[in-house]
């Protein structure tokens, strides 16, 4: 069961980028749907994932493959817990970022996304983007077809 | 017979997946199609895709001629007396269902079967038991899983009206002694229906030599298009059967209150049929005839013998059902202690593109009676080679290391 849920989250994300993972996401979704309605997993999704992973490991290390195959349920629970803890922490961080302007209000410096106040345009450092460089209205301001960002100085620290 | 040369006719076998060739060992479920079959079907669609038997224009005539030729080819292939004994169906399942619903069995009539029937030859009779009160009796296999002919003889009586039995089993490839079974059934005036889904594609089957009354098989298990099947029936018996599906093409004339049925096989083929596929199936039959079914049987046995020999040395691997490869043909069903059958199938596919079937193969009753959760089944055909078998064995050896 655990692997269905974890896989659903992971494959749903990866499915955004590749149709191959959309197929797996669909299977995982079907499996989760069946499990929550107390029906057996028709697609034997757990088994497919377990066998695929074991098979890949078998080519590299028999020991690791045997261990994974034997303790797959436990391993998948560990990964599921890790996944959910990370998801919860990420959600909290995002909430803080939008509410307080930093993902860690206790130690704003430790969060790379902390928003720095300051006026960018006049203090822009010149970009060096080669032939694609184009001029902006302000003489010091240069943008490069949107490919590179202006770097601006404010309150003594450099932000982008 | 040159399996390597034969492979060239099969477009699917020219494919590589992840840089490796395909080892297709799921032939008991569905076989691959040669170019000739695909071309024959395309020809229908491209050149004369008209109605058969109704329209009298040129295309209709051409389609009718090809379709009826297909019937002749198939009748000859199974040794039927005339082509009118060949009814086109979608598959074996439909053939058996047609019979269960058309034979006028009454309460108390007995239908006898083996204990290894495919669901297709089990459920129709179970339903008839519920609907009409017919009785069903099952002949249990001997401890070595071969057919118990003495037990069968003892179960026969004048009340046994039908023996509906499998010819070659899809679970382990074992072929039942059908000639003896027919003789005993005939002594008791019982009709014999043969589920030949796994025999007609792999060995010489002649309905008249065997003396069966009815025989059903599927085209897709013998290089033919999907959703094709044949029901053979002795003509005098077919004449007296009522069709279980009726409509267009089954009747000579109708009034608001009455109808007059056409003779067999038309009265059993209701509505427009799968013309292209039946023409394709006849092409598959011609292909098998060119190779020769005795050659196919011999080739499969050779491979099966090799695989069985290699398996015998593998730790934890157990062949299920009948053990002797000489009795088994081209099917090898097995389990590996400590590794689930679906896992084995997925790993074979992942490791080496070896495609097998896993589960209970629609013979749940047999597995459940023995408390076997399922098995891995490798089923061979004419295009499989010794190299395929070696790849399979190598992959299995790797997988058994998981134990
Ligand atoms: C012995 C046997 N009988 C009947 C069937 C049913 O065939 P179909 O699904 O083509 O009707 C099968 C299919 O695997 C079979 O192996």
CATH number at residue B359: 3.90.1150.10
Place of tokens 């902006």: A136
Residue A38 lies inside a defined structural domain of this protein: yes
Cis amide leading into B128 (omega within 30)? no
The shortest CB-CB distance from A66 to any of B340, B342, B402 is to B402
Q: Which entry of B171, B176, B354, B362 is annotated as an active-site residue?
A: B362
Go through chain A and tell me how many residues it has.
160
DSSP B108: T
The shortest CB-CB distance from A52 to any of B339, B346, B398 is to B346
Q: What SS3 class is residue B315? A: coil
**Same domain (yes/no): B197, B330:** no
The answer to which of A42-46, A92-96, A125-129 has the lowest mean pLDDT is A125-129
* Helices B386-400 and B341-352, packing angle to 10 deg: 120
**Same domain (yes/no): B199, B239:** yes
- A59, B399: Cβ pair inside 8 Å? no
The shortest CB-CB distance from B402 to any of A52, A59, A65 is to A65
Chain B residues within 8 angstroms (CB to CB) of chain A: 339-340, 342-343, 345-347, 350-351, 398-399, 401-403
Residue B385, ligand 1, Cβ within 6 A: no
Q: Is the pLDDT assigned to residue B191 strictly greater than 80?
A: yes
Q: Is the pLDDT assigned to residue B277 strictly greater than 70?
A: yes
Residue B32 lies inside a defined structural domain of this protein: no
**Same domain (yes/no): A129, A66:** no
Residue B197, ligand 1, Cβ within 6 A: yes
CATH number at residue B277: 3.40.640.10
Buried b (16+ CB within 10 A) or exposed e, B178-196: beebbebbeeeebbbbbbb
**Same domain (yes/no): A140, A79:** no
Two tokens, residue A28: 């995982």
**Same domain (yes/no): A96, A123:** no
pLDDT digits (tens, 9 = 90+) for B57-66: 999 999 999 9
- A44, B401: Cβ pair inside 8 Å? no
- For ligand 1, atom 15, the nearest C-alpha belongs to B197
**Same domain (yes/no): B131, B190:** yes
The shortest CB-CB distance from B342 to any of A51, A56, A62 is to A51
**Same domain (yes/no): A8, A58:** yes
**Same domain (yes/no): B286, B299:** no
Q: Is the pLDDT assigned to residue A158 strictly greater than 50?
A: no
Chain B hits for A56, Cβ within 8 Å: 350
The answer to which of A47-51, B254-258, B372-376 has the lowest mean pLDDT is A47-51
pLDDT reported for residue A17: 72
Total domain count, chain B: 2
Q: How far is the CA of B165 from the centre of ligand 1 (A)?
A: 12
**Same domain (yes/no): B210, B307:** no
Please state, in angstroms and rounded to a whole number, the distance separating the CA atoms of residues B394 and B282: 37
pLDDT reported for residue A2: 61
**Same domain (yes/no): A95, A38:** yes
- Domain of residue A31 covers 2-100
Picking from A57, A76, A100, the residue at the C-terminal end of a domain is: A100
**Same domain (yes/no): A22, A95:** yes
**Same domain (yes/no): B183, B286:** yes
Picking from B260, B290, B320, the residue at the C-terminal end of a domain is: B290
- Domain of residue B354 covers 3-26+292-400
Name the closest residue on chain A to residue B352, using Cα atoms: A55
Residue B31 lies inside a defined structural domain of this protein: no
**Same domain (yes/no): B22, B132:** no
The answer to whether residues B98 and B87 touch, using CB atoms and an 8 Å cutoff, is: yes
Picking from A100, A129, A148, the residue at the C-terminal end of a domain is: A100
Please state, in angstroms and rounded to a whole number, the distance separating the CA atoms of residues B305 and B139: 28
Q: Residue A53's CB: how many other CB atoms inside 10 A?
A: 18
Residue B92, ligand 1, Cβ within 6 A: yes
Express as a percent the part of chain A with pLDDT over 70.
Answer: 60
Two tokens, residue B209: 């030599």
Clarify whether B362 is annotated catalytic.
Answer: yes
Chain A hits for B403, Cβ within 8 Å: 66
Q: Which of B93, B229, B277, B381 to mutate to test ligand 1, by most ligand atoms within 8 A of the CB atom?
A: B93
- Reported as type and span, the H/E element at residue B285 is helix B275-291
DSSP A37: T
**Same domain (yes/no): B299, B274:** no
- Reported as type and span, the H/E element at residue B347 is helix B341-352
Burial class of residue B305, CB neighbours in 10 A (0-12, 13-18, 19+): middle
- A44, B398: Cβ pair inside 8 Å? no
**Same domain (yes/no): B124, B256:** yes
**Same domain (yes/no): B387, B307:** yes
**Same domain (yes/no): A93, A148:** no
Total domain count, chain A: 2
Burial class of residue B14, CB neighbours in 10 A (0-12, 13-18, 19+): exposed
Burial class of residue B155, CB neighbours in 10 A (0-12, 13-18, 19+): middle
The answer to which of A1-10, B226-235, B343-352 has the lowest mean pLDDT is A1-10
Chain B hits for A51, Cβ within 8 Å: 342-343, 345-347, 350
Please state, in angstroms and rounded to a whole number, the distance separating the CA atoms of residues B167 and A44: 32
Residue B381 lies inside a defined structural domain of this protein: yes
**Same domain (yes/no): B227, B319:** no
Nearest CA-CA distance, residue A29 and chain B, Å? 20
Residue B62 lies inside a defined structural domain of this protein: yes
**Same domain (yes/no): A10, A61:** yes
ipTM of the complex: 0.71
pLDDT digits (tens, 9 = 90+) for A54-93: 999 998 999 999 999 989 888 888 887 888 888 888 888 8
pLDDT digits (tens, 9 = 90+) for B31-83: 999 999 999 999 999 999 999 988 889 999 999 999 999 999 999 999 999 99
**Same domain (yes/no): B309, B239:** no
Place of tokens 């099966």: B304
- A65, B346: Cβ pair inside 8 Å? no
Picking from B241, B259, B290, the residue at the C-terminal end of a domain is: B290
pLDDT reported for residue A155: 39
pTM over 0.90: no
**Same domain (yes/no): A31, A66:** yes
């Amino acid at each position: 069961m655990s692997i269905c849920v974890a896989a659903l989250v992971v494959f749903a994300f990866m499915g955004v980028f590749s149709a191959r993972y959309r197929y797996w996401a669909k299977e995982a979704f079907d499996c989760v749907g069946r499990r929550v309605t107390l029906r057996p997993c028709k697609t034997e999704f757990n088994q497919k994932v377990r066998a695929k992973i074991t098979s890949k490991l078998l080519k590299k290390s028999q020991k690791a493959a045997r261990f994974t195959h034997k303790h797959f349920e436990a391993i998948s629970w560990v990964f599921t817990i890790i996944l959910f803890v990370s998801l919860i922490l990420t959600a909290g961080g995002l909430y803080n970022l939008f509410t307080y302007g930093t993902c860690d209000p206790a130690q704003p410096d430790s969060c790379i996304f902390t928003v720095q106040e300051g006026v960018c345009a006049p203090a822009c450092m010149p970009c060096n983007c080669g032939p694609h460089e184009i001029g902006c209205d302000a003489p010091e301001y240069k943008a490069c077809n949107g490919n590179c960002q202006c770097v601006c100085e404010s309150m003594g620290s450099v932000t982008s | 017979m040159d399996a390597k040369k034969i492979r060239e006719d099969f477009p699917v076998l020219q494919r590589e997946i992840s840089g490796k060739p395909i080892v297709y060992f799921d032939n008991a479920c569905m076989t691959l199609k040669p170019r000739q079959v695909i071309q024959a079907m395309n020809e229908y669609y491209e050149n004369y895709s008209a109605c058969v038997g109704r329209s009298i224009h040129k295309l209709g005539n051409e389609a009718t001629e090809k379709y009826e030729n297909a019937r002749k080819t198939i009748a000859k292939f199974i040794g039927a007396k005339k082509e009118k004994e060949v009814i086109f169906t979608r598959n074996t399942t439909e053939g058996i269902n047609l019979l269960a619903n058309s034979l006028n069995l009454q309460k108390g009539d007995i239908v006898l079967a083996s204990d290894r029937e495919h669901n297709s030859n089990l459920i129709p009779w179970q339903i008839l038991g519920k609907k009409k009160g017919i009785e069903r009796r099952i002949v249990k296999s001997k401890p070595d899983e071969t057919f118990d002919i003495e037990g069968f003889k003892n179960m026969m009586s004048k009340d046994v009206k039908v023996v509906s039995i499998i010819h070659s089993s899809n679970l382990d490839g074992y072929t039942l002694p059908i000639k003896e079974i027919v003789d005993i059934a005939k002594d008791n005036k019982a009709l014999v229906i043969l589920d030949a889904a796994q025999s007609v594609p792999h060995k010489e089957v002649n309905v008249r030599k065997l003396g069966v009354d009815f025989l059903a098989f599927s085209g897709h298990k013998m290089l033919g298009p999907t959703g094709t099947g044949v029901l053979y029936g002795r003509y005098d018996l077919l004449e007296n059967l009522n069709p279980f599906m009726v409509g267009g093409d089954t009747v000579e004339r109708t009034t608001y209150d009455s109808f007059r049925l056409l003779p067999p096989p038309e009265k059993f083929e209701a509505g427009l049929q799968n013309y292209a596929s039946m023409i394709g199936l006849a092409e598959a039959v011609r292909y098998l005839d060119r190779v020769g079914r005795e050659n196919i049987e011999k080739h499969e046995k050779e491979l099966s013998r090799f695989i069985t020999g290699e398996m015998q040395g593998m730790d934890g691997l157990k062949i299920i059902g009948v053990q002797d490869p000489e009795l088994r043909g081209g099917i090898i069903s097995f389990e590996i202690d400590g590794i689930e059958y679906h896992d084995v199938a997925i790993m074979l596919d992942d490791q080496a593109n070896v495609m097998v079937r896993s589960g209970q193969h629609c013979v749940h009753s047999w597995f459940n009676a023995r408390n076997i959760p399922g098995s891995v089944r490798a089923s061979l055909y004419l295009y499989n080679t010794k190299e395929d078998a070696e790849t399979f064995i190598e992959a299995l050896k790797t997988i058994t290391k998981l134990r």
